[in-house]
Each structure stands twice: as structure tokens, then as C-alpha cells.
Amino acid sequence: MSRPNKDRDNGPNLLDSFQSTARFRNPIHMNQSTVKEHYQILILGGGTAGITVAIRFAAIIRINRLTTHLFAVEKYRKTLEKVAARKDIDVRLKHNLVELKPDSKEAIFEHMDTHEMVTIAFDMIHVTSPMSAPDIIKTSPLANATEWVDVDKYTLQHPKYPNVFPIGDCSRLPTSKTGAAIRKQAPFLVKNLLSAIKGEPLVAKYDGYTSCPIVTGYGKLVLAEFDYEGKPNETFPFDQSKERLSMYLLKAYALRGSIGMACCGDWGSSDSYRSDLGD
């Protein structure tokens, strides 16, 4: 059971966010070159999480199981490839972890195409295992063959059960699973659910918007925002594929508050939804 957190229970607390960020930053900063010179660090999988951890540690090797590119969207990938080169990160894709030998500190990978077995020694390994829905969902009739809750990617309605509208991490929506994506999904869900209740056609169409804030250094962040087609869908009137201090500050200090507001309903008035239902 998780420990109750007074600040979290009371909603977003920017001061707490500021202090914890500062506490985290300093020790890693001091050790970064030592880490790189003396330790073999493997960062395995995890998409954005893997990239972020690799960059933080100036890691030696970053490994991804399935993808053929460092990042799916070309505009941001170009920047991230430059960051990887600058930080001397040895990126290896399509390597599937099949065995860990903690005594000899070795990780064994199978190449997904050639099936060649590759052994890499490590001093520290960070593993993000493949994600899945909880068993209760996987085994439910709501799930499809991929074991996520099935969903029409535009209307957010379940294809078999019209009174079910899945969003968020448990859904099969083919976009990156983030809180930012959920913030955009929720208003579409509400509109279409109201239409379904009233027997009207579902006209609101979610475009797959998601956002991946990727820290690329101390005080630097790439704010990737894109849709189902991998088309950038950026919030700000400047090129967000560039590493920026402003985006770092946004992530470190401001976003936590805005996510709190989103969760409290400030992105769309719940009153208006209620009046739509004649409540």
C-alpha cells in the first residue's frame, strides 16, 4: 500500500515540485562523468522513459526491443539522434532481453531479426519491462487480441459494447500512453458519451494527440507533441523539436499544476456537460 502523501492528497504543490527537482538534479550532475568513465550502464526499453534515463546518465547503451528508430516521429527523432551522438550513447534497437545474469553482471539479448544472441556486461541496468493491461482486463470480454480494452480510435467507443468508452493506459488507442493524451481524450469521450445517451451520432473525433516531454540535459527539454499520423501538433508558436530551457521549466514547474487542473475539470466545464444532459 502506498504511503499517504500530504502534498499530493491536497493537490498540486509547485514548491514541492521545485524542491524535489533540485534535490534530484545535483547528485546526478556531480556524478555524471564518473558514471560514464567507470560504469557500463544499460538502459532497456521504455520508449520515452528509456531515452530520458539514458540521457540523464549519459548512458553507454540504450536498447529497445521492438522499434526500428530511436523515436517514432521524425521531427523529434533528428534532435534525439544528435543528443545520443553528443552523449556517446550506443543505441541498439530490436534487441530482446532474454536472460539476466546478476552474478556475472551480464544481460543476454536476442536480436529480433537475426536471432543472434548478444551478451553485454553491465554495472547497472535499468529495465522497463513491456507494458500490459492488468489481468482483470486481459481476460475480460472487453479486451481484444492485443489484451488492451478494444476501442474505436476516433470516437473512443467500444466496438462491441456501445455503452463502454475506454481511454487512458488500459485502452488499445494506438498512441503514446500519457496523462497529456488523456487530457485531450477526456473531452471527446464526454461529448460522444452524451451523444450516445441521447441516441445521436458520435461526431467528436479524437486525433491521437499525445505529448512526450523528453529531458535532454540540465535545463533542456524537447516537448514532442504529435497525432496518430506522427504529425507534429505543437502547443507553442516555435519549433518544439529544439532543446529549450523554457520547455524544461514548463515540465519541471508548471505542468504538474496544469495536470492537477485538468483532473479537477478546469479544461472543460463539467457544468456545461451536466446542462447538456438536462441535469
Ligand X SMILES: Cc1cc2nc3c(=O)[nH]c(=O)nc-3n(C[C@H](O)[C@H](O)[C@H](O)COP(=O)(O)OP(=O)(O)OC[C@H]3O[C@@H](n4cnc5c(N)ncnc54)[C@H](O)[C@@H]3O)c2cc1C
CB nearer ligand X, residue 25 or residue 177: 177
Could you tell me if 94 and 253 are in contact, meaning their C-beta atoms sit under 8 angstroms apart? no
User: Please, are residues 209 and 227 in contact by the beta-carbon 8 Å criterion?
Assistant: yes
- Alpha carbon distance 230, 69 (integer Å): 13
Kindly tell me which of 118 and 127 has the beta carbon lying closer to ligand X: 127
Pairing of strands 210-217, 61-63: unpaired
230-237: long-range contacts, CB 8 A cutoff, minimum separation 24: 230/72, 230/73, 230/74, 232/73, 232/75, 232/76, 233/207, 233/209
Give residue number: closest CB to ligand X: 168
Instruction: Compare residues 144 and 178 and give the one whose CB is closer to ligand X.
Output: 178
Whether the Cβ atoms of residue 75 and residue 134 lie closer than 8 Å to each other:
no
Nearer to ligand X, 182 or 202 (CB): 182
| Site residues (vs ligand X, CB under 6 A) | 134, 136, 168-170, 177-180, 182, 211, 213
CA 213, CA 52: separation in Å to the nearest integer? 9
CB of 158 to ligand X, least distance (A): 15
CA 135-138-141 angle, to 5 degrees, is: 130
Strands of 160-248, DSSP E = 210-217, 220-226
Taking the least distance from each CB to ligand X, the nearer of 30 and 249 is 249
Nearer to ligand X by Cβ, of 120 and 262: the residue is 262
Least distance between ligand X and beta carbon 249 (Å): 14
For cell 526491443, the residue is: 65
Residue of 177, 246, 248 lying closest to 210 (CA atoms): 177
Helix or strand holding residue 117 (H, E): strand 117-121
| Residue 181: CB minimum distance to ligand X, A | 7
CA neighbor of 65 nearest in space, from 94, 92, 43: 94
Q: Which is nearer to ligand X, 179 or 187 (CB)?
A: 179
Q: How far is the CB of 252 from ligand X (least distance, A)?
A: 10
Q: How far is the CB of 185 from ligand X (least distance, A)?
A: 9
User: Least separation, in Å, of the C-beta of 30 and ligand X?
Assistant: 23
For the CB of residue 50, give the shortest distance to ligand X in the complex, in Å. 11
